[in-house]
């Protein structure tokens, strides 16, 4: 296989857009199919920290390091930890850390602006992907196009993955209720968060709040609940969810419960994960990156970093002249790397949503501090 001439990327999240950018840097065209009608179609989620060897490295390879540094917030890397009584157990400003934060919408915008105009086909939810001779057919908007290579960058519920694997994400028994705040209008929440993000955990529950750009704060109430309840919440009015969540945090300090009382309800996020070590027999013409290949709980903080470095490695494989064997090698190393992060994410979920909660997180923070 020479560099394939027709490449479709299904999904215009961070991973898919990064792949399109890096292919274009190598002079290879790609079409991105994105379900959203436009970049501002839906809330993009909170702040992400990009790690030096993965997310930041991909931004550098894409020639977007200065745009990233201009938009990133190194000042928001601090950690605070409270117990359910509201006692502050741990506070560090993280100012010397090397994992600057960036809002997800801002990251997406940097990537979009780097692309050749017309690269993204907005409002193009892919309905089907099927082999057609040596090519692959993609059906979106009632129109079918064929490509030499189709990359599934379409997240947890990928439409491309079934061509490669029967695996499906499994509910992890926990759900996050997402909350939004304008810091200026919620001074008590502002004071709670400190210089980055705060956790308060115990009794299999967690409250998280994190500084975002533009004076916003994003919060999460995480609980262990059966999937049926998580699904019911996803369809329930905000007041019902708030009442249920407040009941779950009965007995917690009023200073912490404020998060649930005052937050604007932004969404209900049941946590799903693919099996740790998910891999598949390689199939010429179709591959995956990011959450489509290895969705995991957010408690490793690696999801977006993996999606970005997957894109960098896959662009090198597709553009490097090494044929499909190079893509196979990408798939193998990606699966190995993702398995390590997925184990960390599973451990993270078990630690944060545990009986001990904050005590277990405190031990981890101290261990990390001692190792630094
Ligand atoms: C609550 C929460 C907090 C998180 N916090 C962090 C964090 O702090 N740090 C971190 O690294 N990661 C975090 N993550 C994970 C991170 O958001 C993901 O790992 C990352 O977004 C994966 O990027 P991706 O490009 O692979 O997929 P996605 O971001 O899921 O993008 C997929 C894209 O595909 C599109 N799409 C889907 N289906 C179709 C279709 N059929 N046709 C066309 N388009 C389609 C979607 O609209 C979307 O734009 C968090 C996740 C959650 C749920």
Average pLDDT of the residues of the chain: 95
Is the predicted pLDDT of residue 355 greater than 80, yes or no?
yes
Asked if residue 85 is part of any domain, the answer here is: no
> pLDDT tens digits, residue range 87-143?
999 999 888 899 999 999 999 999 999 999 999 999 999 999 999 999 999 999 999
Do 39 and 183 have their domain in common? no
Per-residue model confidence (pLDDT) at position 4: 65
Lowest-pLDDT range of 1-15, 169-183, 255-269, 348-362: 1-15
302 lines ligand 1 (CB under 6 A): yes
Lowest-pLDDT range of 151-155, 168-172, 368-372: 368-372
Asked if residue 80 is part of any domain, the answer here is: no
Asked if residue 296 is part of any domain, the answer here is: yes
Q: What is the atom index within ligand 1 of the atom nearest the CA of 302?
A: 11
196 and 94 in contact (C-beta within 8 Å)?
Answer: yes
**Helix, strand or coil for residue 148?**
coil
Is the predicted pLDDT of residue 214 greater than 70, yes or no?
yes
Rounded to whole angstroms, how far apart are CA atoms 179 and 143?
Answer: 38
303 lines ligand 1 (CB under 6 A): yes
**Helix, strand or coil for residue 319?**
helix
Do 141 and 177 have their domain in common? no
Rounded to whole angstroms, how far apart are CA atoms 244 and 5?
Answer: 53
Rounded to whole angstroms, how far apart are CA atoms 327 and 149?
Answer: 11
36 lines ligand 1 (CB under 6 A): yes
CATH code at position 24: 3.50.50.60
- Tell me, in angstroms, the distance from the centre of ligand 1 to residue 10's CA: 12
Among residues 222, 210, 207, the alpha carbon closest in space to that of 252 is found at 207
- Tell me, in angstroms, the distance from the centre of ligand 1 to residue 13's CA: 6
Per-residue model confidence (pLDDT) at position 1: 52
State the pTM of this model: 0.96
Asked if residue 219 is part of any domain, the answer here is: yes
Do 191 and 304 have their domain in common? no
Domain that holds residue 113: 7-75+99-169+275-350
CA nearest ligand 1 atom 52, residue: 298
> pLDDT tens digits, residue range 30-61?
999 999 999 888 777 789 999 999 999 999 99
Asked if residue 2 is part of any domain, the answer here is: no
Do 268 and 124 have their domain in common? no
Q: What total of structural domains would you count in the chain?
A: 2
Q: What is the atom index within ligand 1 of the atom nearest the CA of 125?
A: 42
CA nearest ligand 1 atom 27, residue: 155
Do 148 and 178 have their domain in common? no
Per-residue model confidence (pLDDT) at position 3: 59
- Tell me, in angstroms, the distance from the centre of ligand 1 to residue 118's CA: 22
Do 158 and 282 have their domain in common? yes
> pLDDT tens digits, residue range 225-279?
999 999 999 999 999 999 999 999 999 999 999 999 999 999 999 999 999 999 9
Asked if residue 94 is part of any domain, the answer here is: no
Instruction: Tell me the best of 155, 160, 174, 334 to mutate to test the pocket of ligand 1, counting ligand atoms within 8 Å of each CB and taking the most.
Output: 155
Do 285 and 238 have their domain in common? no
Do 52 and 122 have their domain in common? yes
Asked if residue 330 is part of any domain, the answer here is: yes
């Amino acid at each position: 296989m020479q560099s394939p001439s027709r490449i479709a990327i299904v999904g215009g999240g961070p991973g898919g857009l990064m792949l399109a950018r890096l292919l274009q840097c190598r002079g290879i065209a790609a079409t991105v199919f994105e379900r959203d009608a436009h970049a501002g179609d839906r809330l993009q989620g909170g702040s992400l920290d990009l790690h030096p060897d993965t997310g930041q490295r991909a931004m550098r390879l894409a020639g977007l390091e200065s745009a990233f540094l201009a938009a990133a917030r190194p000042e928001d890397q601090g950690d605070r930890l409270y117990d359910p009584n509201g006692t502050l157990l741990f506070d560090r400003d993280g100012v010397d850390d090397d994992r600057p934060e960036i809002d997800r919408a801002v990251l997406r915008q940097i990537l979009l602006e780097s692309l050749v105009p017309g690269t993204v086909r907005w409002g193009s939810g892919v309905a089907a992907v099927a082999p057609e001779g040596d090519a692959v057919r993609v059906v979106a908007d009632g129109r079918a196009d064929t490509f030499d290579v189709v990359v599934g960058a379409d997240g947890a519920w990928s439409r491309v993955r079934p061509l490669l694997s029967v695996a499906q994400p499994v509910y992890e028994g926990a759900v996050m209720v997402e909350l939004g705040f304008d810091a200026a209008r919620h001074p008590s929440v502002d004071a709670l968060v400190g210089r980055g993000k705060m956790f308060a955990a115990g009794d299999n529950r967690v409250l998280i709040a994190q500084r975002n750009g533009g004076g916003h704060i994003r919060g999460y109430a995480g609980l262990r609940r059966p999937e049926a309840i998580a699904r019911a919440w996803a369809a329930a009015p905000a007041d019902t969810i708030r009442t249920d969540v407040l009941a779950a945090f009965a007995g917690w300090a009023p200073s912490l419960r404020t998060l649930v009382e005052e937050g604007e309800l932004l969404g209900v996020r049941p946590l799903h994960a693919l099996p740790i070590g998910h891999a598949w027999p390689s199939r010429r013409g179709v591959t995956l990156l990011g959450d489509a290949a290895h969705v995991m709980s957010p408690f490793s903080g690696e999801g977006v970093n993996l999606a970005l470095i997957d894109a960098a490695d896959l662009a090198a494989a597709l553009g490097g002249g090494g044929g499909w064997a190079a893509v196979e090698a990408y798939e193998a190393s990606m699966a190995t790397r993702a398995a390590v992060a997925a184990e960390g994410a599973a451990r993270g979920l078990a630690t944060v949503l545990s009986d001990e909660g904050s005590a277990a997180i405190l031990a981890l923070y101290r261990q990390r501090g001692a190792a630094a």
